[in-house]
Structure 1
Amino acid sequence: MSPTPASETPRELSPGLTVRGLDAPLRLRDFKLIAFDMDSTLINIECVDEIADAAGRKTEVAAITEAAMRGEITDYKESLRQRVALLKGVTEEQVAQVYRNRLRLNPGAAELVLACKAAGLKVLLVSGGFTYFADRLRDRLALDFARSNLLEIQHGVLTGRIVPQSWGDICDGAMKRETVLRTCSLIGCSPTQAIAMGDGANDLEMMSVVGLSVAYRAKPKVREQARVAIDMGGLDRLLELFSDEA
């Protein structure tokens, strides 16, 4: 399934659930992979903003995050380096408090993951956020794969740097796309058999190569290019597209 042509008229299936160029119902079992963005998609917060709050820099960091997610900053890697630099001096315990006290799954997240796994799909979490959160969510939800950025911590304190990993330095939009394509290859499916869900501009590249792109309470630029837009309710509203016998 190709990216959504701008000429296709959106059609509201029900309040807050819009599709373009799709004939619902689909069959969930016809897909083999679902890829989730993390911040503001699978979970309720932008983790970098909440960590910055501990450093008294949330307003400054959140402004950069918002601009990056809206697609107003073209160099995602540099924008992330700038934000992470402002986290220098935050303790690992303060990061842990963000996970314990502020991070929540978005409504319907666990239900959608369970439904996809029951239908035989593999589940990928691919994020421009941080392994501290992504790896814990992978274990908590029994996800199959997770890729995100590694904050450097020395003596229990953030250094303000990101640690390169075996696959590269920063998981930006291009790396999200590559990760989805490589995961499809790994599990032996076509990208057209993949679903990608996201909310920000750095999700557009992975959304452009899959069979079903889903915008969840997304920025306008993302909503306009997705096959499916969920603007009300939880992530599990995606299941309304699929027939019961799927």
Structure 2
Amino acid sequence: MSHLILQGPHFDGSFIEKVAALAQADGVQPLAQANVVRILGADPASKKEVQALCQQARVDFAYLNQIDNLSDMRVLAMDMDSTLITIECIDEIADMAGRKPQVAAITEAAMRGEISDFSESLRRRVALLEGVPVQALQRVYAERLQFNKGAAELVAGAHQHGVKTLLVSGGFTFFTERVQQRLELNFAYSNTLEVEQGVLTGRVVGDIVDSHAKAHYLQALAQELGAGPQQCLAIGDGANDLVMMAQAKYSVAYRAKPVVQEQAAFALNYAPLDGVLNWFRLSH
């Protein structure tokens, strides 16, 4: 039997009763947070029926064999674009130059997994940014970059319990450095856009942070901390996050593409990012 965590913007007692009955549960335990409930003794065999009911009600669910202590976790690895933040930065840079449709189409195909070579897709998109003034990056940051709901709370909760935070992005250092500073993240890795005479050249400097690089950075930090996959969390939304997510027991699809939803152990489609914290026992 498992614990079943339900969370979402809105659900009522009758919905909880339906889920508990479907899951043949032993009991229901409301948690301190609003709109979060733990159903005790849930039968994992009921997952498909519970999933259908939750999707209809726009509620996230998670089956857990046990409730781990968050303080026993060691690494929280996160994607940036469309995960920690609401935008795809490269698409917004392109928008400043009137080239968003061409760039966004490649981004979407890459995130859905339709373009298997992320590095090649990134080079194609960056090439379309040739000649864009570097000030466009500052405008995107100042005018368009916003954190997804619960991002700051998730990071603060991780830090409070001694979990190291790692930002691994196929995006750009201009943005990851600022996001790292604002959220006080422990580590951040991403790509560097080449700039000459105040404009983008359409090239990336050095090796590209692709799906395998993301996984490498997670593995390297886990090894340094003496942590196994059971002590790692990884959150992403696109196909290039899957190799990284496979290194973590808590692989989380956040508002993710179908290919990511299918392979992740958990999903947050309705609850904010800090909904992750509700799967753990928190000590203060």
After TM superposition, the score normalised by the length of structure 1 is 0.91
In the alignment, the residues of structure 2 paired with residue 55 and residue 180 of structure 1 have an alpha-carbon distance, to the nearest angstrom, of 34
Pair 1:8–1:94, CA change in 2 (3 A):
farther
Q: How many residues are paired up?
A: 235
Please give the residue correspondences for 1:145-224 in structure 2 after superposition, counting only pairs within 5 Å. 145-164=187-206, 169-224=207-262
**Which of 14, 18, 23 is equivalent to 2:61?**
18
Identity, % of aligned positions: 51
Whether contact under 8 Å (1:24, 1:242) holds in the other structure is no
Q: CA deviation at 1:210?
A: 1.1
Tell me how far apart the structure 2 counterparts of residues 221 and 8 of structure 1 sit (CA, whole Å).
23
Paired residues of 2:71 and 2:283 also in contact (CA < 8 A) = no
Post-superposition offset of 1:211: 1.7
**Uncovered stretches (5+) of structure 1, i.e. residues with no partner:** 1-6
1:8 and 1:187 map into 2 onto residues whose CA distance is 37
Residue of structure 1 aligned with 2:146, choices 79, 93, 104: 104
Say if 2:99 is the partner of 1:57: yes
TM-score of the aligned structures, taking structure 2 as reference length: 0.79
Hey, what's the Cα distance between the residues in 1 that align with 2:71 and 2:282?
A: 11
Cα–Cα, structure 1 residues 243 and 48, in superposed 2: closer, same or farther, change >3 Å?
same
Partner SS state of residue 81, structure 2: helix
Deviations, residues 76-128 of structure 1 (Å, cap 9, x unaligned): 10000000000011111111000000000100000000000001000000000
Provide the aligned C-alpha RMSD in A. Answer: 1.8
What is the alpha-carbon distance in structure 2 between the residues aligned to residue 162 and residue 119 of structure 1?
A: 36
In 2, distance between residues paired with 1:63 and 1:207? Answer: 24
**1:135 maps onto 2:135 in alignment:** no
Question: How far is 1:149 from its partner?
Answer: 0.4
| Separation of aligned partners in 1, 2:143 and 2:272 | 21
Shift of 1:245: 3.8
After superposition, what is the alpha-carbon deviation per residue over 1:186-220, rounded to whole angstroms, capped at 9, x for unaligned?
A: 22322321100000000000011112100100001
- Deviation per residue, 1:104-163 (Å, 9 max, x gap): 010000000000000100000000000000011111111110000000011111000000
Distance (Å, rounded) in 1 between the aligned partners of 2:275 and 2:260: 18
Does residue 116 (structure 1) correspond to residue 158 (structure 2)? The answer is yes
2: CA distance, partners of 1:199 / 1:18 = 17
- Whichever of the two has the greater Rg, that structure is 2
- Letter aligned with residue 86 of structure 2: N
Does structure 1 residue 94 correspond to structure 2 residue 132?
no
Q: Larger relative contact order (C-alpha < 8 A, sep ≥ 6)?
A: 1
